[in-house]
Structure 1
Amino acid sequence: MKKDNVIYWVTTAIVALMMLFSAYNYFADPNMKAGFEAMGFPDFFRIELGTAKIIGALVLLIPGIPQLLKTGAYVGFVIVFVSAFITHLALGDAFSAAVMPLVFLAILLVSFRFQQKRLATVNE
């Protein structure tokens, strides 16, 4: 059980910190704003996505949040990572840039799996 908790918290923290860092860049880095504009996205989308990343990270990190909301955050992050992978490929970015969202997706899936294991143990 202790090992499961460690794996859960480490993977969850990695994903949450990455999302918080990404959201910060969405708000503070002029290159991110320019990148969204170059892709044809309206500026409100960058702000909306950054806000959603902050909320999702907090939902994953704060104990006691209802399970339905946590599952929603996981689903949202799956969509974000898959969309980022597709976007990098469509823009012709280096494969190393395109594959990074898949690396974080794998970490997210490990977090989700160990969250489910923890819930199963609690509910027994």
Structure 2
Amino acid sequence: MKTSKIIYWISTIVIFLFDAAMPALTSHLPLAVESIRHLGYPDYFRVQLTIFKVIGGLLLILPKVPARLKEWAYVGFAINYISASVAHANVDGFGFFVVIPFIILGILIVSYLLYHKLNDKQLTIA
């Protein structure tokens, strides 16, 4: 159980740093602005995405957040990674930036599965 908890926190912190802290600090930089423009998205999408990523990261990392909100954060991040991969594949073809979101998605899945293992939550549709 202790190993599971350590792996859960490492994977969750990686997601938080990669998708909440880093965008909050770098989304205004010219490279980030150009990256969003290159993919064909309007500039307001960059701001909106950053806000949602920060909120989602906080929901994952903070204790005492209701399980349903954590579930929505996990789903939001999963959709984000899949959409990022599809966007990069459509604009630039298959390459490094298509694979990276799936690697991060794998880390997210580890965090998600261990979250449920550690909290004895049964996955139900209700």
The reply to whether TM is greater than 0.5 is: yes
**Matches of residues 15-54 of structure 1 in structure 2 within 5 Å?**
15-19=15-19, 20-26=21-27, 28-54=28-54
**Matches of residues 67-78 of structure 1 in structure 2 within 5 Å?**
67-78=67-78
Any stretches of 5+ residues in structure 2 without a counterpart?
Answer: 122-126
Match of 2:120 in 1: 120
* TM-score computed with the length of structure 2 as normaliser: 0.88
Match of 2:124 in 1: none
Secondary structure class of the residue paired with 2:120: helix
* TM-score computed with the length of structure 1 as normaliser: 0.89
Identity, % of aligned positions? 34
- The aligned length equals 120
Match of 2:62 in 1: 62
Instruction: Say if 2:39 and 2:88, in contact at 8 Å, map to a contact too.
Output: no
Question: Which structure features the higher share of helix residues?
Answer: 1
Give, in angstroms, the shift of residue 93 of structure 1.
Answer: 5.3
Give, in angstroms, the shift of residue 61 of structure 1.
Answer: 0.5
Aligned structure 1 segments of 4 or more residues deviating by more than 3 angstroms: none
Any stretches of 5+ residues in structure 1 without a counterpart?
Answer: none
Q: What is the aligned-residue RMSD (CA, Å)?
A: 1.5
